[in-house]
Structure 1
Amino acid sequence: MYQKKLFTALFISALSITSLVAQSTLDEQSGGSAPVNVKPPAEKADKNKMNIVKVNLMALAFKNYSFQYERVLTKKISVAVGVRSMPSGNLPFVDNYADDIANGDADLEANIRSLKVGNFAITPEVRFYLNQKGYGRGFYIAPYYRYAKFNSDELPITFDGDANTTKTIKLKGDITTHSGGVMIGAQWHLGKVVTLDWWILGAHYGTSNGTLNGVPSSSLSANEQTEIKNTIESLDLPLTKITAEVSANNIKAIIDGPWAGVRAGLTIGIKF
């Protein structure tokens, strides 16, 4: 249960402003009269700004830097690509839940607070806008693909050692995921250049694989090797299978299997 709670904490931590120029027209019907200024229709103005760069405000609260570029192709269709990065560091909001997860276990709480993780993801998508305004406005459905990599610098594994001792070894490595999904959202144009894009909810499913490695400070006995193997393979990682290869001087946790996740956010952007 100790390890399950710690691994749950790791994966809990398992989400982008130009003015319009009035156009002049010549009334050929009047035989060469002076040009007059005409304000372009909103739809035509939108066609002049087909690019949007955005930043995800919600992601910043979770120490993630998330940006998206959207290119409007037609009235109903656009394409976009998002990039998210979380530099390696302590878990977001760790002070809010470390005590509850540890439930009085001082060693577990210390491990949760010292745990360092990071991630990177790239997400291309196609958007289909549903309303009549279009050109990057209104509700949309967006099928997407996501590539993500999660890294652990210090994932502690605590096990029972020989002579009634308790030992801890820290694992380091990466987990890579490939998944596909669908998101629903809505985007508004706030004036001439600002956009507000609400990623209401997305869900994706795919595969994962990766390896976490650790080197013990001293050679492990046969009993300790068995204990570590059992401890690692009992870790609670939803959907994904985890197996362990343990020798006297090396520990390897191999992660392979399905992967699932959700996606949401609130972005502010500029059109150009």
Structure 2
Amino acid sequence: MDLIRHLEYFVAVAEERHFGRAAATLGVTQPPVSRAIKALENHLGLTLVERTPDGAAITEHGAALLPRARLIVDDSRRLTSAAQSLTTSGTIRIGLVPQLDDAIATRIAASVGTRARVETAAAVSLLDRVRSNELDVAVIDHPVVLDRVVAGPVITLPRRICVPAGHRSAQAERPRLRMLSDLAFATTPRTANPPAHDLMLDAFRRRALDPEVLVARTFRELTTAVASGRCFGLVPASSPTLPGTAHLDLAAEDVALRVRIIHREAEAESITPLIDRILLQASR
């Protein structure tokens, strides 16, 4: 059996607590995920996951093995990345958090040119990959716990609140944040950057808004969830207003995206000023 792939499926189900959502995250259909979990359980002689009316629950044995499974999956990805780096001499490996505007990402890629290899991942993952020399430089959201990396100044990028086009807040002459109380908040999972996630929810609570959180890992997931009428989310101020959505200028200081560039020691010193200029232009 492909143990690493089966462990990857197990980790996805454990994190999503749902077979369907795990399959969507992995980019596969649900049956292969169910078969992989069953095969892994047979291989280990343990029940790892139990189906529930709401999705899936991790058993006591599953919870005990989950940290080790995550390490194995992460190590396999690092091995693959390290092997790729050996064949990409001269490549500048750049990591970006998914909250960054696509226009910023393309400007960075165009500025670096053919040497650029741009990847998207959560802040915690990017930080770890910069430390392990799998990436030369990364742009991560702030705040995050930093150590063993060089971090640039915090840059603030404006964002707007994206709501369903038919929602009362979109129709109001003077919308208020509390009008969003009937909507969930679509955002990246807390594991992507716990401090930034918690600070955003705290900012909402200070304004009498305590929303349910709906995980949206990509801009597409966020905007389609908003268009369906289930939730609101945060989008770059320069983003176009897509069908079924509306943009609100509310709590600008609280919802702004704060980012910083990180790299290791003297590495990537030639590329960081270029990325810094692009981010500063976007902040104005």
TM category, shorter: under 0.3
TM-score when normalising by structure 2: 0.21
Larger fraction in strand: 1
User: Which protein has the bigger helix share?
Assistant: 2
Structure of greater Rg: 1
